[in-house]
Each structure stands twice: as structure tokens, then as C-alpha cells.
RNA sequence: GCCCUCGUAGCUCAGGGGAUAGAGCACCGGCCUCCGGAGCCGGUGGCGGAGGUUCGAAUCCUCCCGGGGGCACCA
């Protein structure tokens, strides 16, 4: 076994954020970086080896930092490159070390060392991902549909991204508190309750329970807009709701209950772990709003402006160039969503004692949230600014690159999109998988269809707007969910054909060989899993994990094409290749799982 | 008007200080009696523009152009 640097030798301060670098020592890149780091640090304060994967054929990694270091020292780059690469035990883990005239150091891993790393990975059920040294309590705010309003494609993004981030956080050992900030309070409930009464409680509840939320809302809105009398009733109803009138609260509860039941159906369809226990809606914070405002007042932060109670924060202006306030209490005495969002910070840091509060909310809310964070910081509720995170995401667009809507201008219901994806996946699966029975086929279709939609959403940089294209999502070619699920199935099918159990090859007891270039590339790729998962979490970007899995699947395909497994030249090679297949399936499956995507065993 | 964000191949997207900018789809040309052909190999084709910083810029800075969003009592 190779002697490894102890974890406390890892570069301190490499991660100034809250996720201390917990990368397993089975990762060759981390081992080499740890070997080089002290050498660089000795030559110049804070010098970084800048170890990166190499795209040059025959090499696995390259050291870029030697050039910058040479500049700093005023010496020739190739000289410094030679210096940093000769003094350390790189030879122990690299079979080839090349210094280029420009000052790069190219490294090729020693086969035995690489094989040892992969064996260790195969023997580790966590695949090299270590539990965080300091587990954090993280509140993740995501999904947040509105009562009596349909869930559409926009909710898909926050829900799917938030779910994946929760899974990643938990996998790294952090304590995650999911908060589904449902829109279940506010002035619109006067209108909704009055409509519920007009249409009849039973009928209204029925409409909601069968999922016709948009129909309910639209008609309520239409009735409200059309009649001053309804508007007056709605206004009085809001007052009754705010003052805790029992009957009004009961009616409100009917709306909430029917909607929540519907949300649960959608989450079940999506395979999202959110339950009604995770709902911490706007109504939950309502009782706190007075205290929030009072505390801001006590701290001298409140300014009255045009009758509204405001907090002014430097850096924002109105259209006219005047200072822009965060309005915490409207001139009519009511509270807006700014106050509620302040209350979430107040509660999450004050009562829950969160280390991090994550808001998976669309990019248009950036300014609003930044202002809320700034006010919370001013009020002393936010221990430090970087502990509140806005994980923003772009809009969902249609094929025409406009906001994703039907020709008639209506938004698509999320459930309809999901159903169509499952149906198309079912057609694709039926066309090929003759050995599946009906119930297996339905189950696979669900995993593939839902996985396709989720993967499409997760696989692009979340800040960009993305084009919702069902055809591309459910395609088995390209960077798609179905392709990756299929890649994993192909890994596993070898075992089924041979009557073997992949688990027998995962204990780490099967010696790995990396003789063929395709075996090597696959092996190196496999060891990159912990770093990929870590990178995805660090930047709140699941797409980095997607990119890794897709790349890994590519290496597996090349391996599969070039290296016969069951017909390997000898028994040792066959077992090694079976182990690589089993490990590939496991890494792909684990990766998809962290994205919230299920993996069928057959398809 | 100010602020944020995005602009990479015909299309959908990676790459966010390192060497010759990568995939998939589409298109063109080849290959394969072989563990799952939902295959393999090759080709055409690109960083919106102009400056600047740097040994090195798609990446960082400034300006311009273009798309999207936000800019006090709706959430």
C-alpha cells in the first residue's frame, strides 16, 4: 500500500468557504496536490501548484503553477518546473514526469498506484466521498408553490435543483432542514375564500382536489375583477383572516388542505422527498412579523417614508435615483413579502440556529433577496453575509426562446409535462425492451421519463435560461438522463448475461489492472467522483456532477468497445474488467441518486 | 437612466487564468458476422465587438452592441 500524506497536510485555506475540503485519499489528484503543495509553499508564500487534468495524450495531470511561481521568483519556468517536480516523492506515484520548455509539468500516474486507488474506491461504499469534518445545519428553502395555484415549469427548477442540493448536503454529512415556503397567506386569500363560498365549499374543494388549481384561481380572479361587491367582501374577508376569525380560518384551511394534497401528488410523481412536514409556509411566519418589525425599530433601523415603515440599505436606488427602501410595513399597516422573508432569516438563524440558509429562488428575485440579506445583516440576525445564499436560476423557455407558454399564452401544467415525458419514455422503452412485463415497463418508463426531465433541468448551468425540449430530454443520445441510465444498465447487463453478481466485485478485493489505455482512462475518471460531487456542492451547481457522470459514461463506452470483458484474455483481466464495470455502474448510479434520479436495473 | 444576468459550431450546451476551445444533435464520408446497434471511426463548422491587465484571456477589468430580468407599499 502507498504511504499517503495525512489529511492535515492538505492545503489549509484551499476552501475559504464552509465546506472544508473533505476529499478522500483514494483520489490521485488530491494525493499529488498534497505532495506538491508544501514544495510550492516553501518556495513562495501561498503558491498554488494548480494541478489540473491533462488533455495531452499519455498524461493524466499537469502542473500549471510552476510558471506563475517562476515569474514570482524571477527564474526560468522550466528550471522551476524541474525543481518542484524532482524534490518530492512524485516518482512514487507517477511513472512519467515531463517538464516542458514553457514550464509545465506533465504527469502520468503509475499503473500500480492508479490500480490501488481504484481498488480502494471499489472497497468504499461512499466511493471516496468523506463525511464533512464539521457538519453544518443547513436550511434549504425550495419549491414553494402557491395555494390554489398550479405548479408550472418554474416550480420544476426550484424543486429539482433544491432536492439535488439537499441530497448532496446530506451525503456530505450535513444536517439539512427542508423548508417548503408555500404561498399560503396574504391578501389574495380574501378573494379565494369568497370564491370558495360562491362556488360552494364542496364543489370548490373538489376542483382543487382533482388538480384544477388554475381553473379555480382564474375564476376567482375573474369574479373579483368583475364585481366591486366581491372586492369589498374579499377585503373584509382578509381582515377576518388576519384577525383570526374561526370560520374564516376554517375556510382558509380547506383551500390549504386541498392544495397541499395536490402538491403531494406532484411530489410523489416527481419522486421528490418533500412532504407536508416540510411545509413552512408564509402563514407560519405571520405571527412573527410584528416582532420582526419591532426589533428593527428597537435597533433604530426603521425609517418612515410616505407612511410606510422602511429600512434603507446603501447601494440600491429607485428608478428616479432615490434611495430604495425595503418596506417592512406598508402604509396600511399590512406586511409584504419582504417582512416574511426577513422573518425566515430571523427564524432560521435565531431559533433554528442554522449555519447556512439557502434560498433556491429564481434569478429575478436577486435584488429583493440581497436587500433582505443586507437588512438581516444590519439587524445582526445574519452571523456573516456568506451564510445566506441565493441559489438563483434562469427561466424556462419554449422552443421559440420566449417564456415557456402554450400558443394560447397559458402556462403548461407541470403534471402534464411530467405525464407526457413518462409516456414518451414508455414508448421508447416498449420499442426495445421485450423482456419486460407490463408493470416493470411502467416502472422503468416512470424512472426514465421523470429522470429525463430532471436531468435536463440539472445538467445546464442553473443561471442560464434553458429551453424546455421534451424530444431532446427523452433522447437516448447525448447528455441526457436516459443515456446515463442506459449506460449503467449496460454495465450491469454483462453480469446478468454471465450469471454473476456485481456486488462480488465491489469489495475492493478484486485486483484491478489498467493495462489498456481505455482501462486507464476509465480508472482515472472513476477516481474523480468525490471531487466532482464536492465541486457541485461548493458552487451549488448540480450540472458539474452531471458533466462528470456524462464524461465517465463516455470513458466507459470506450472501454466497453475496446476491452472485451467476458472474453478477456485471461481470468485476472476478466475479473479486473468486471470490477471496473461494477464500479462504473455504482458511480453512475450514486451520481444519479445525488441528482435525485432513479436508476432502473434493466430497460 | 441605474443595477443584475446572459451572449461559445447551424441547434442545445460544457469549459470561468494555462498548451491545438470540447460534447451531443444536425450534416458529410467511412467501419462493424464481436459481451445490448440506443454502435464505432473520421470530417465540415465557433468564443458578439473593441481596448486593457498578464509570461499566458473564451475565462479577469473597462467601454460598446444584442437578449432577458429588476428598480417602494403585488408576492
Q: Looking at A152-216, which runs of residues are DSSP E strands?
A: 175-179
- For chain A, what is the radius of gyration of the CA atoms? 28
A336 pLDDT band, cuts 50/70/90, is very high
CB A127, CB A527: distance < 8 Å: no
Percent of chain A topping pLDDT 90: 77
Residue-wise pLDDT tens digits, A47-80: 999 999 988 888 999 999 999 999 999 999 999 9
> Strand B: which of residues 405-464 in chain A lie with Cβ below 7 A?
428-429, 432-433, 459-461, 463-464
Q: Please state the rounded mean pLDDT for residues A217-242.
A: 93
Residue-wise pLDDT tens digits, A444-498: 999 999 999 999 999 999 999 888 999 899 999 899 999 999 999 999 999 988 9
CB A60, CB A108: distance < 8 Å: yes
Residue A24 pLDDT: 46
CB A420, CB A385: distance < 8 Å: no
Mean pLDDT, chain A, rounded, equals 90
Which nucleotide is nearest to A362 if distance is taken from CA to C1'?
A: B69
CA A557 – C1' B36 distance (Å)?
12
Q: Please state the rounded mean pLDDT for residues A401-423.
A: 86
DSSP state of A187: T
| Domain annotation for chain A: domains and CATH numbers | 7-109 (3.30.1360.70), 188-273 (no CATH), 452-594 (1.10.730.10)
A25 pLDDT band, cuts 50/70/90, is low
Q: How far apart are CA A100 and CA A107, in angstroms?
A: 11
> Strand B: which of residues 315-334 in chain A lie with Cβ below 7 A?
316-319, 321-322, 324-325, 327, 330-332, 334
User: A523 to each of A3, A75, A247, A372, how far by Cα in Å?
Assistant: 20, 37, 66, 47
Q: Per-residue pLDDT for A7 more than 90?
A: no
> Strand B: which of residues 493-552 in chain A lie with Cβ below 7 A?
493-494, 497, 541, 543-544, 547, 550
Which nucleotide is nearest to A307 if distance is taken from CA to C1'?
A: B73
Residue A154 pLDDT: 85
> Strand B: which of residues 352-381 in chain A lie with Cβ below 7 A?
363-368
A74 dihedral zone (left: phi>0; alpha: psi -120 to 50; beta): left
Residue-wise pLDDT tens digits, A292-334: 999 999 999 999 999 999 999 888 888 888 899 999 999 999 9
Measured in degrees and rounded to the nearest 5, phi and psi for residue A389 equal -125, 125
Of A548, A555, A549, residue with least CA distance to A588: A549
Q: Per-residue pLDDT for A13 more than 90?
A: no
Q: Per-residue pLDDT for A544 more than 50?
A: yes
DSSP state of A511: P
Residue A403 pLDDT: 81
CA A17 – C1' B5 distance (Å)?
24
CA A56 – C1' B22 distance (Å)?
14
A22 pLDDT band, cuts 50/70/90, is very low
Asked if strand B contacts A107 at the CB level, meaning under 7 A, the answer is: no
Of A568, A562, A487, residue with least CA distance to A521: A562
Measured in degrees and rounded to the nearest 5, phi and psi for residue A327 equal -85, 115
Nucleotides of strand B within 7 Å of the protein's CB atoms: 1-7, 12-19, 22-26, 34-36, 38-41, 54-56, 67-75
Residue A437 pLDDT: 85
CA A29 – C1' B64 distance (Å)?
42
Residue-wise pLDDT tens digits, A107-125: 999 999 999 999 999 999 9
Residue A411 pLDDT: 81
Residue-wise pLDDT tens digits, A230-248: 999 999 999 999 999 999 9
Tell me, letter by letter, the H, E, C secondary structure of A351-398. CCCCCEEEEECCHHHHHHHHHHHHHHHHCCCCCCHHHEEEECCCCEEC
> Strand B: which of residues 544-603 in chain A lie with Cβ below 7 A?
544, 547, 550, 554, 557-558, 560-561, 563-567, 602-603
Residue A26 pLDDT: 64
Percent of chain A topping pLDDT 70: 95
> Strand B: which of residues 194-223 in chain A lie with Cβ below 7 A?
none
A431 pLDDT band, cuts 50/70/90, is confident
Q: Please state the rounded mean pLDDT for residues A440-446.
A: 92
Amino acid at each position: 500500500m502507498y504511504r499517503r500524506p495525512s489529511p492535515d497536510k492538505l492545503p489549509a485555506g484551499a476552501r475559504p468557504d464552509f465546506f472544508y475540503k473533505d476529499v478522500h485519499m483514494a483520489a490521485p489528484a488530491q494525493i499529488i496536490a498534497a505532495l506538491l503543495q508544501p514544495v510550492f509553499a516553501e518556495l513562495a508564500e501561498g503558491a498554488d501548484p494548480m494541478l489540473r487534468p491533462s488533455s495531452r495524450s499519455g498524461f493524466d495531470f499537469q502542473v500549471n503553477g510552476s510558471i506563475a511561481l517562476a515569474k514570482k521568483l524571477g527564474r526560468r519556468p522550466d528550471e522551476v518546473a524541474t525543481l518542484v517536480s524532482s524534490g518530492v516523492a512524485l516518482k512514487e506515484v507517477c511513472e512519467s514526469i515531463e517538464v516542458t520548455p514553457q514550464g509545465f509539468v506533465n504527469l502520468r500516474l503509475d499503473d500500480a498506484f492508479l490500480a490501488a486507488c481504484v481498488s480502494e474506491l471499489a472497497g468504499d461504499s461512499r466511493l471516496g466521498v468523506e463525511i464533512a469534518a464539521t457538519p453544518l445545519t443547513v436550511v434549504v428553502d425550495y419549491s414553494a408553490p402557491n395555494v390554489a395555484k398550479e405548479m408550472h415549469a418554474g416550480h420544476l427548477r426550484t424543486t429539482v435543483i433544491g432536492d439535488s442540493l439537499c441530497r448532496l448536503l446530506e451525503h456530505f454529512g450535513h444536517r439539512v432542514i427542508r423548508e417548503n415556503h408555500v404561498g399560503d397567506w396574504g391578501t389574495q386569500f380574501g378573494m379565494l375564500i369568497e370564491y370558495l363560498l360562491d362556488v360552494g365549499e364542496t364543489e370548490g374543494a373538489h376542483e382543487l382536489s382533482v388538480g384544477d388549481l388554475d381553473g379555480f384561481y382564474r375564476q376567482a380572479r375573474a369574479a373579483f375583477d368583475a364585481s366591486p361587491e366581491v372586492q369589498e367582501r374579499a377585503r373584509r374577508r382578509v381582515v377576518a383572516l388576519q384577525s383570526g376569525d374561526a370560520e374564516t380560518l376554517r375556510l382558509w384551511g380547506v383551500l390549504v388542505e386541498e392544495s397541499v394534497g395536490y402538491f403531494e401528488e406532484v411530489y410523489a410523481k416527481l419522486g421528490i422527498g418533500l412532504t407536508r412536514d416540510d411545509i413552512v409556509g408564509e402563514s407560519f411566519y405571520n405571527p412573527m412579523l410584528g416582532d420582526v418589525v419591532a426589533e428593527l425599530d428597537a435597533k433604530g433601523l426603521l425609517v418612515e417614508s410616505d407612511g410606510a415603515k422602511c429600512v434603507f440599505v446603501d447601494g440600491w436606488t429607485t428608478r428616479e435615483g432615490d434611495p430604495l427602501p425595503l418596506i417592512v410595513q406598508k402604509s396600511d399597516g399590512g406586511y409584504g413579502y419582504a417582512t416574511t422573508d426577513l422573518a425566515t432569516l430571523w427564524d432560521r438563524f435565531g431559533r433554528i440556529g442554522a449555519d447556512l440558509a439557502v434560498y433556491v429562488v429564481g434569478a429575478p428575485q436577486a435584488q429583493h433577496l440581497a436587500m433582505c440579506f443586507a437588512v438581516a445583516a444590519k439587524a445582526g440576525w445574519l452571523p456573516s453575509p456568506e451564510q445566506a445564499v441565493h441559489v438563483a436560476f434562469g427561466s424556462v423557455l419554449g422552443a421559440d426562446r420566449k417564456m415557456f407558454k402554450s400558443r394560447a399564452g397559458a402556462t403548461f401544467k407541470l403534471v402534464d409535462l411530467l405525464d407526457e415525458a413518462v409516456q414518451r419514455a414508455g414508448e421508447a422503452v416498449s420499442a426495445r425492451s421485450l423482456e419486460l412485463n407490463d408493470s416493470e415497463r411502467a416502472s422503468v418508463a416512470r424512472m426514465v421519463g421523470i429522470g429525463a426531465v430532471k436531468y435536463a433541468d440539472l445538467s445546464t448551468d442553473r443561471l442560464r435560461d434553458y429551453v424546455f425540449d421534451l424530444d431532446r430530454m427523452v433522447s437516448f443520445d447525448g447528455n441526457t438522463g436516459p443515456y446515463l441510465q442506459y449506460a449503467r444498465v449496460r454495465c450491469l447487463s454483462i453480469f446478468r448475461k454471465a450469471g454473476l453478481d456485481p456486488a462480488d466485485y465491489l469489495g475492493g478485493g478484486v485486483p484491478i489492472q489498467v493495462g489498456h489505455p481505455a482501462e486507464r482512462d476509465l480508472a482515472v475518471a472513476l477516481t474523480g467522483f468525490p471531487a466532482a460531487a464536492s465541486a457541485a456542492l461548493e458552487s451549488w451547481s448540480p450540472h458539474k456532477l452531471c458533466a462528470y457522470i456524462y464524461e465517465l459514461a463516455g470513458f466507459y463506452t470506450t472501454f466497453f468497445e475496446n476491452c472485451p470483458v467476458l472474453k478477456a484474455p485471461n481470468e485476472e483481466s476478466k475479473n479486473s474488467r468486471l470490477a471496473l464495470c461494477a464500479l462504473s455502474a455504482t458511480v453512475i448510479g450514486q451520481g444519479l441518486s445525488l441528482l435525485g434520479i432513479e436508476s432502473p436495473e434493466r430497460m
